Amino acid sequence: MTKDSDSTFIKYQKDRCEFFKVSEIQNIDSKFIFRFWTDSYVLEIKKNEDQIFGSLIFSVEDTNIKKNYFRKEFVLDRKKTEKIYNKITDENFNLPNLKWESGFDGNLFIYEIKNFNFYDYKSYATCCNDISEAKKHLELNDFITSLIDIKEISNTFSNQIPFVCYKNYNGAYGTCKVEELKTNKKIRKYNRSKKLSQCKPSEQRPKIQTFKTS
C-alpha cells in the first residue's frame, strides 16, 4: 500500500466486497485493476495483457431475508472504458489523501488501484467538497459520469430487482416498491414473509440465493 493511502475505511473493504460479490482486489491476477466504489455500485476497470475491460456492478440486499442479495453486472463500452483507463494511468494522475478533517458526512466514494505490486486506496465524501484537495476527486467523478450514464443503468437495474423491499450497502433504511404493495392481500403476504424471516433458523424455509458467488 502506498504511504499516502487512506486507511480510514479499508478495514471494511472485505465486507464491501462480500456485499457486491467480487474478490478482494489483492487476490485478482489482472496486471491492472481500478475500482470506483459507492454504496450503490462499483465501477471496475481491468487490464489483462493488451485487453481492457470495464463493468458496472450493482448489488442490493433483501431487507426481509438477511444476506439474500440481487446482483447485476453491466459491461461498459470499450472506447469509454479505455478513456477512463488512460485518465487514471496518466503519469500526472494522483488522488490526494483528504485526511478527513471536515468530518464524515455526505456520500462516500472509494478508489482502489492495483498495478502489479503497487496498491493505492483513497476515499472521499461530499462533505469535503470545499477543501482544495477535493478538486482532483471531483474532476475524476465528473469525468466518469460524463462518459457513463450511471443513472440510466441504475434505473435498468432497479427495474429488475425481485425484492419488495431492499437496501444498498451500508444502508440504514430500505427502499420499498410501492406498486408491489398496493393491495391489502399483498401487504398481508409481505408481512407474513417478514415475520417468517424473524423466526428461528430451524423454523425458516430454506433461503434461495438469487445469484452465485463469483
Helix (H), strand (E), coil (C) string for the chain: CCCCCCCCCHHHHHHHHHHHCCCCHHHCCCCEEEEEECCCEEEEEEEECCEEEEEEEEEEEECCCCCCEEEEEEECCHHHHHHHHHHHCCCCCCCCCCCCCCCCCCCEEEEEEEECCEEEEEEEEHHHCCCCCHHHHHHHHHHHHHHCCHHHHHHHHHHHCCCCEEECCCCCCCEECHHHHCCHHHHHHHHHHHHHHCCCHHHCCCCCCCCCCC
Q: What is the pTM of this model?
A: 0.78
Q: Tell me what percent of the residues of the chain surpass a pLDDT of 90.
A: 41
User: Which of 141-150, 175-184, 191-200 has maximum average pLDDT?
Assistant: 141-150
Q: Which pLDDT band, with edges at 50, 70 and 90, does 122 fall under?
A: confident
Domain boundaries, the chain: 10-203
